[in-house]
Amino acid sequence: MRREVRVKGYALFAVLTALVATSCGDRLGRKRVLIQHRGSDTLLNVAQAWAEAYKTVNPDVAVAVTGGGSGTGISSIINGTGDIASASRKMTAQELEAARRNGSDPVEFMVGHDAIAVFLHPDNPLNSFTFEQLAQIYGEGGGIERWSDLGVEVPGCDSGEIVRVSRQNNSGTYVYFKETVLGRGRDYRLGSRDMHGSKDVVTLVSKTPCAIGYSSLVFASSQVKMPCIAKDDTSPCIVPSRATAIDGSHPIARPLLLYARDHPVGAVKQYLDWILSDAGQCIARQKGYAPVLSVECP
């Protein structure tokens, strides 16, 4: 029978689950540390690669990786069910306060750079967008609904209607695109096809001549095209790339973040230190992300 002992309004078993990582045993009876790493779908590929590679660095530590979006990861930091959260946006002041009310003090680590790319079907003749054009397509009250509004006809898009492909609202990419491109205080218009993951955005756009979508550059493929993006008519139009993400010239460049639930110690600190080492950053580069360090990789 489990007995709950209240400590400052919390059950002792809840406090214990909020300790850094969890110990568990393998089939041979050896103690292993389990780190729960949850969050951003943008970072899911590299998070899984880090976890897999770390098995050879420290076999006594297992890292369980799950996606679900930046909001899901941040919630796990707030409620104490996760040790590390991946996020493609910063925690808000309200989220930080909620975590502190629950006894945590989240610490942020920048682990890479990213660019949000706009994706079109390869047959779409458009090669550039401004923020205002994208806001008129995606934003509430926007006036661009058909490709003819932008002066083009898209082969295979018989209706001429723009099919807007977006992310679900627990996505950091969704939030960052909204704040950066649509502008603070402006919401998305209704009627978009909201995809669970970035890969799903690219897949749908590649099969839909009428479509436009956005997600991390990491998910680009030869099945879609990426137009250049300009803040306005007088700004340079920049093609998303690893280089333009690193130097910040791409207008929708952003940092990629990990949050530890508290100032990391023990296995969590060692794991984060390794992610920020040459070995961890080379894995990020190999997966298509722009590393935060200047590294030479084999």
**CATH number of the domain residue 204 falls in:** 3.40.190.10
Look up the pTM and report it.
Answer: 0.83
Q: Considering just the CA atoms, what is the radius of gyration of the chain in Å? A: 21
Residues 205 and 268 in one domain: no
Number of domains forming the structure of the chain: 2
Residues near 94 by Cβ (< 8 Å), separated by ≥ 6?
A: none
Q: Tokens representing 240?
A: 């998303």
Residues 108 and 126 in one domain: no
Residues 154 and 190 in one domain: yes
pLDDT of 56-101, one tens digit each? 999 999 999 999 999 999 999 999 999 999 999 999 999 999 999 9
Domain assignment present for residue 298? The answer is: no
Question: Domain of 136?
Answer: 115-253
pLDDT of 135-156, one tens digit each? 999 999 999 999 999 999 999 9
The label of the residue with tokens 């660095």 reads 57
The runs of H, that is alpha helices, within 102-246 are: 131-138, 172-177, 198-207, 242-246
| pLDDT attached to residue 22 | 53
Residues 61 and 89 in one domain: yes
Domain assignment present for residue 221? The answer is: yes
Whether 194 and 204 have beta carbons less than 8 Å apart is answered as no
Domain assignment present for residue 296? The answer is: no
Residues 20 and 149 in one domain: no
pLDDT of 210-221, one tens digit each? 999 999 999 999
Beta strands in 22-150 (DSSP E): 22-25, 31-39, 61-68, 84-87, 107-120, 128-130
Return the closest-CA partner of residue 182 out of 119, 253, 252, 132. 132
Q: For residue 116, which amino acid is it? A: I
Q: Which positions of the chain have pLDDT values less than 70?
A: 1-30
Q: Tokens representing 62?
A: 């297992």
Domain assignment present for residue 292? The answer is: no
Helices and strands, counts by H and E, the chain: 10, 13
